Structure 1
């Protein structure tokens, strides 16, 4: 049956793709986004225009609300219009590097905004809240693959700290108010309509312009690159399946992956890390042009490797991402070159 879904961050990369999937299957979507200037707002507006075009062409039920999550009154007005069957919260101040320069925006969007979302979901009796966390919560962990059963108490930048805070805040609300919540730890998402601040996007722009690209840690670190369609499939499946309490939770020996509350956390990654230098090789092949590479040491706040253990989400939801970087980067480059011509 179709659902009425509130989707925050709808003008963002993952939010845009999630909206398209929900609308295509017949859900009514209320999209919420501040369309901030963290990166080129023209791309965000182009995503919204594409959603409007598809809505008009197919008769989808899509409404857009431009407002800030830190504005509690704006959220209250949205929830006062009609009840939601699901809330998918993808809005956040993104970016690791930017958190070193502008920490206040992370407090406003990721902490104040998330607290507002929990409050309105609680008072509205939302049946299920699904929200975006991040693989960055694993921080200083070096044991791979990263598992939901691992402790995550050593974030190494503010962005990661706010995402871990979101998980803790959500668990408290789930415990206190029986609010079903699912958090998803995304691993390095890429694909068409992506974010210009992400490495693969800026690499493509610089390669086409003949400018050098910087590979930190001399390109030796690996990332669990996850194609956006695989992320969206996981988001929608998780949202559809309301989080239950874990029957295996033991308060004498609490496991981070379980809870007596209707709360759960899943890794959502490809489960097949790729070294950065290999990733660039695949991008070069898709673009048909070689990169000028500058090898540099590790950046502050960066991690050497990410690698998702996806066993928990596979067991719970019967889902595992499948897209290879060869397939995913080819799809990105096809979109990138077309968008570049239009821009």
Structure 2
């Protein structure tokens, strides 16, 4: 049946070829003669392997291999240099060989939903133009740090996996607009997510989150889905703490950071000769109450934001957001809305 379709297609040299729902267990070798094909649909068949002749489709831009019987990611796909969209959902892929990702220079869309992936290779960073990536319903436990090099990524779906955390470098995904991570085991979102300045949709429903990162309110979110998480509740309990004794390193860092605010400070000039010190000071945080810088000694607190005040049309109620305070002195001061975190 497929051979007959290809014979008819050879006469017209079509741009689009639809071979879905044909009960195919292999692709006829004659496919390699259709060099004009730009879109090839092979969805809903029983295909396990691709013929080498497929690499002759030099103009192929869209390939749909969804809902087939592939157990291995076809390495010959890397030779389809003009491929822009690849649908590979509902197969049995358990891993992606690193070399397979070297040739996808034009790929902007990749759908790997409903496979058996346990990891993504570090070479995922070779998808230089990827805009849409979906790996829903796999078995991923983490994401490689190289994933954060996908600076063109606009939409990422990883729902229904086993993710516990995200890379600390997640903030490098500055083009990200939609992030769907529902139904995982994520306990904490990285502070770097606050640098995803274009993020408009964040879905972290049905995870294990208790609190959100400090910069959440600075994101241009239009939708935040966080139901079915053990979020901290706004149940204040009175507590008064004594001022702690700071380590000498912490005292020194705080002194240096205060001095650096003076444009005529000697330290401001001297520090240029100590790059390691500059790198260490770059890790400093700012107290949510007094605004002073600190390095390692802080008090983790929480404040509760009203979803309506964040212009989140879909969310209601209070959202717990992390806040860092430099000392118990600031914590015990009056007229702030920060609470210490009490664990049961």
TM tier, smaller? under 0.3
* Structure with more helix by fraction: 1
TM normalised by structure 1 equals: 0.26
Instruction: Tell me which of the two structures has the higher relative contact order, counting C-alpha pairs closer than 8 angstroms and 6 or more residues apart.
Output: 1
TM normalised by structure 2 equals: 0.25
Tell me which structure has the larger Cα radius of gyration.
2
